[in-house]
Amino acid sequence: AAGVIQSPRHLIKEKRETATLKCYPIPRHDTVYWYQQGPGQDPQFLISFYEKMQSDKGSIPDRFSAQQFSDYHSELNMSSLELGDSALYFCASSPSRAEQFFGPGTRLTVL
Amino acid sequence: GNSVTQMEGPVTLSEEAFLTINCTYTATGYPSLFWYVQYPGEGLQLLLKATKADDKGSNKGFEATYRKETTSFHLEKGSVQVSDSAVYFCALSLNTGFQKLVFGTGTRLLVSP
Q: How far is A63 from chain B (nearest CA, A)?
A: 21
pLDDT at A77: 97
Beta carbons of A32 and A21 less than 8 angstroms apart: no
> pLDDT per residue over B4-63, tens digit each?
999 888 999 999 999 999 999 999 888 999 999 999 878 899 999 999 899 999 999 999
Confidence band (pLDDT; 50, 70, 90) for B94? Answer: confident
Beginning with the edge strand found earlier in the chain, give each strand of the sheet holding A19-24 in spatial order: A5-7, A19-24, A74-78, A64-68
**Considering only CB atoms, which chain B residues are within 8 Å of A90?**
43-44
How many beta carbons lie within 10 A of that of residue B111, not counting itself?
19
The residue in chain B having the minimum alpha-carbon distance to the alpha carbon of residue A104 is B43
CA distances from A60 to A11, A77, B35 (A): 19, 11, 24
d(CA B47, CA B43): 12
How many beta carbons lie within 10 A of that of residue B42, not counting itself?
12
